[in-house]
Structures are given as C-alpha cells and as structure tokens.
Structure 1
Amino acid sequence: MLIKWLRGLRAAPSIPDAAWQATLARYPFLADRPAEDVLRLRSLAAEFLRDKEFHGAHGFTITDEVALAVAAQAVLPVLHLRGGLDWYDDFVGIVMHSSEVVARRTAVDDSGVVHEYEEIVAGEAMDRGPVMLSWQDVLASSITSGDGYNVVIHEFAHKIDMRSGVPDGCPALPPGFAGRTTARESRAAWLDVLQPAFENFREQTIVAERFGGEPPWLDPYGTESLSEFFAVACEAYFVNRANFERDFPQLLRMFDAFFRPTPA
C-alpha cells in the first residue's frame, strides 16, 4: 500500500499528441469508441507508463512506440472497471522480446508421470509476477482484430482473472453481480454462461480439426482450459465486438455487465 501511495504522488507523464494519434491510427480498435472513452484511455495509459517498468530481453530496445503500444492496449480491459489500474497492482515489470519465445514446461499426468516439453509462446502472465510479451505479436494486433487476436489483452485478461486467486476463468466479481446476493451465487451465474460457451467452442474446434467442419472464429488455444477461453474471449470482445456479439451474445451481455458496469 505504501508503494502504491508513493506512486500516486508522482504525476503521470504527458503523452505527446503525435505519439498518441499514431498509436490510435495503428490500432484502430482503440479509437473505435466514444470520445470520452478515448480520453480516459489516454489518461490511464499515462498512469500505466508511470507505474510499470519495461525491460528488453536479449538486447531488445524499449522505445516510446513499444511502451505506448503496450500501455494503451493493456488498460483497455480496465477502462471502466472499479479500481482501474488497481487490477494490475500485483506486478511492476513487463518483459519484451522481439518475437515469440520457447518456454520449457513441466506437467504431471493422472498417473503421476512427469512430462517435460517446450512450448512456443507470444506472451505469458505470471501470478504476482511480470508479464512477458512478443513485440512482433503486439505489432500484429494492428491487423488481426478481424480474427479477434490480441496478445496484450489476452495476457492482461489473465492478470484480471488471477485477482480472484487461481486463474479459472472467473475474475473477482463485484458485490451484487448479476443480481445475486452472495459471491458464490455470482460466481455460479458467471460460470452458467461461460462454461457452456467454452464447451460448445471446444466441440466446434474438435469437429473442425478431426472432421473438416467449419472452424470457429476464436483462437483454438481457448480450448486449453476455462481460463484460456476467458482470455481468448476477452481478446475478441475488446477488438471485434460485432463478431463477438454474433457468435457469443449471452457471453457478450455478461462481459458488458462486468467490464462496463452501469453506474449506481
């Protein structure tokens, strides 16, 4: 709390207008919202730049373009959430790589056998730790909104999910969410929408891969778990609302209730 208070004493940097306009032009989904939202987005991005520390891995240089691109996209999910950037106060560092990286993984199967393998990742959010991002993939989000792909929003959606403890696709919900009385009831209402959407998406993906059916619109990585589906769904919700509403109308309404709460 003391560190948070001390940061609040420092004024957020002023984002030069030319740099901000260039960011909006490169990532048009940021500008495709009401003018007051764009103003708040700029203000939150400035606070994000004040509070977070960027590190370039393997000689990658952190430029103003890199930092601003990440900041502007990272604050989009918390634009209207109560607490704003408090959702990201469990970490400071953001590690940038020039491109995707190979991560070593360890998994234990149901028989207790340990398996080691490698996975190519474009980003990773660590619980109470830094966020890792591939600059190549951050840049790609300028042209992949049609596919609902955005690595920054994906990883920061994981951070939002982690605020409730173990990432499981259900973030910490506000009191009275969905008209429910208790936190348990609110969580049940959330999962009543998210779980069937995830299962239907997973079934469509399997049919497409095995039998040549029509592949779903979202990134198939969302089939990995309910937490990954939440992050993948958040990507699409924020960068291509029209397609998301077409394919996931119930999920969109629930996301609206969480990410765009009606003022009391």
Structure 2
Amino acid sequence: MLKWLRGLRAAPVLPDAAWQAALARYPFLVQHDASDDERLRTMAAEFLRDKEFHGAHGFVITDEVALAIAAQAVLPVLHLPGGLDWYGDFVGIVVHPSEVVARRKTMDEAGVVHEYDEVVAGEAMERGPVMLSWQDVLAGSLTADVGYNVVVHEFAHKIDMRDGVADGCPTLPARFAGTSSAREARAAWTDVIEPAYQSFREQTIVAERFGGEAPWLDAYGAESISEFFAVACEAYFVNRLRFGEEFPALCALFDAFFRPEKA
C-alpha cells in the first residue's frame, strides 16, 4: 500500500497495561525524558499501523510480540528527521520462533563459489522484509549489559541500506558535523568509524586466534564494516553508558546522527 494511503489510517491506541509491560521487560526503552517516552509510544503505534507481521512455522503473532518488536524498532529513528520514513522500503516483518539456518553462497577472489549454512537470529533484506527470531527478541530483555539486541541490529541495517548500499555509512543530512557537502560528511563519518572498526577487528582476531582479551561488543561486528555499524548501534541504544566508555569518538558520532537536536 502506498505510504500516503497508510498515513490516512489512524494509529492504534496502545493499551496502557500492554505498553507498561513492554517497558518493564525492556528497561533500556525508558532511559529517556518524558517527551521521548511519549514519542516512542506514538511512533510504536504508527509502526504497528504501517507494518505487517507474519509468523513462520506456526508461530503466532500476539499483541505482545508485535508491540515488543515495534517499541525496539523505533528506537534508532526516534530522533532522526523523517522518523519512520527510514523504514519506508518495506512492510513485512517475519517472526520465527527461534534461530534460522540460512543457506549462503559466496564467490571468492578466484571465482570459486562456496556454499555454507549460517545460523541467524535475524536478517534485513534490501527493499525487502525483516526477519527476526522471537527467542532472540525476548533475549533482548536480558542482554543489554553486553550490548546485544537483534531488533536494533536488523533495523540499523535498514537505516544503513536506505541509500542502496550496506557500507556502514547511512545517508547523512546536509551540514552533518559542520560539513558543507555530502563528500565532506561521508569523510567525517568514515574518519571515525573506519579506525574504530579496524581496531575492533584486530582485537577480535587476537582474541580468537591467540587468546587475547575478547572485545565487549559481539565479535560478529568484525565480519564487515556494515556489521560493525549494526553491532555498534545495538550497544549504543541499549547500553549507551558502556558504549561511550568503550568507543567515545564513535558515541559522539552516533549522537550527532541519531540525536541531531541534542548534538
């Protein structure tokens, strides 16, 4: 359905008991001021109006399931200009009861095709639906200390892919970080996230191969800079204090993008 048609329908009224239960289960949702809390609730209702949930393998989409996903999905766009327009390239959200085994195919530099299975807790498809494991969505209520959140991760990918490329750099606004052109803005972003990614990747490799100290963030972020962006977003939104201690420069960069009115 066209976006302007969806906008004609009123957003659902979220029952207070259900909303409070979601906030109690995911405490990181309430680390804001009162105006943020009201905005979160309003945008979650609009998200539920605009998106379609589908259960896979007999999984039943209850109000609890849909509300838990909606409340966490709107966190990354809570203060972004355009709000939910960042998620305008898709409608469907597919929820599996648990992790999914996905068949992958890649080609190496020599042109040899490799096929393998990968266990995934979620997946965001460019201009397509978002897939989530309910088991891992629920785990988000317990994993904020380690900066893990599958919902934020997959919707961060959607933000990254808005310009058609998953490269760890979302579409940046005009005059981002005091820059005067899109090229300067991208350079300012890259100058911060690239060294953070390389340092994280090196620490992950040392930990895995030589028994060094493991990084705080999920090691999956070392797979690529786009995965690092998504993993970093998880931690930024569910445990900003620890994220700021571990990645102060990156935290300031994210502040400038995700909370421009406070930058």
TM-score bucket of the superposed structures, by smaller chain? over 0.9
CA, structure 1 residues 5+263, in 2 after alignment: closer, same or farther (shift >3 Å)? farther
1:182 equivalent in structure 2? 181
Question: Do residues 261 (structure 1) and 260 (structure 2) align?
Answer: yes
SS at match of 1:90: coil
CA–CA distance in structure 1, aligned partners of residues 259 and 41 of structure 2: 18
Q: Secondary structure at the match of 2:79?
A: coil
1:57, 1:96 within 8 Å by CA — same for their partners in 2? yes
Matches within 5 A, 1:171-210: 171-210=170-209
Q: Hey, what's the Cα distance between the residues in 1 that align with 2:262 and 2:97?
A: 41
Hey, what does 2:251 align to over in structure 1?
252
Amino acid at match of 1:257: A
Quote the residue 1:67 is aligned against. 66
Structure 1 residues without counterparts, runs of 5 or longer: none
What is the rounded CA distance, in whole Å, between the counterparts of 1:227 and 1:248 in structure 2? 17
Instruction: Give the corresponding residue for 1:224.
Output: 223
1:140 aligns with 2:139: yes
The question of 1:111 aligning with 2:95 is answered no
Deviation digits for residues 135-183 of structure 1, max 9, x if unmatched?
A: 0000000000001000000000000000122110000000000111110
Q: Note if contact 1:27-1:141 (Cα within 8 Å) is conserved in structure 2.
A: yes
Q: TM-score, normalised by structure 2?
A: 0.99
Distance 1:42 1:193 in 2: 32
CA contact (8 A) 1:49 1:71 kept: yes
Report the Cα offset of residue 214 of structure 1: 1.1
Check conservation: 1:41, 1:75, Cα contact below 8 A.
yes
Q: Give the corresponding residue for 1:38.
A: 37
The answer to which of 16-25 and 176-185 deviates more is 176-185
Distance (whole Å) between structure 1 residues aligned to residue 261 and residue 135 of structure 2: 36
Partner secondary structure for residue 9 of structure 1: coil
Q: Does 1:48 align with 2:47?
A: yes
Question: CA–CA distance in 1 between the matches of 2:209 and 2:238?
Answer: 29
Distance (Å, rounded) in 2 between the aligned partners of 1:244 and 1:263: 18
- SS at 2:57's partner residue? helix
Give the superposition deviation at 1:8: 1.1
Give the C-alpha shift of residue 262 in structure 1. Answer: 2.1
Instruction: Give 3-state SS (helix, strand or coil) of 2:54's partner.
Output: strand
- Structure 1 residue runs of 4 or more that deviate by more than 6 Å after TM superposition: none
How far apart in 2 are the matches of 1:4 and 1:55? 20
Task: For 2:13, give the aligned amino acid.
Answer: S
Tell me which residue corresponds to 1:23: 22
Cα distance in 2 for partners of 1:30, 1:113 equals: 45
Task: Find the counterpart in structure 2 of residue 97 from structure 1.
Answer: 96
1:161 matched to 2:160? The reply is yes
Structure 1 counterpart of 2:130, one-letter code: V
Give aligned-pair identity as a percent: 76
Larger mean CA deviation between 208-217 and 195-204 belongs to 208-217
- The RMSD of aligned alpha carbons is 1.0
The answer on 1:86 being equivalent to 2:85 is yes
Letter in structure 1 aligned against 2:246: D
CA distance in structure 2 between the partners assigned to 1:203 and 1:221 by the alignment: 13
- Paired residue type of 1:114: V
**Match in the other structure for 2:234:** 235
Deviation of 1:241 (Å): 0.6
In structure 2, what is the Cα distance between the partners aligned to 1:47 and 1:82?
A: 16
Check conservation: 1:157, 1:234, Cα contact below 8 A: yes
CA contact (8 A) 1:93 1:131 kept: yes
Aligned 8 A contact 1:164 1:170 in 2: no
1:55 aligned counterpart, secondary structure:
strand
String of CA shifts for 1:202-244, please: whole Å, max 9, x gaps. 1111111122111110000000000000000000000001110
Shift of 1:263: 7.0
Aligned to 1:151: 150
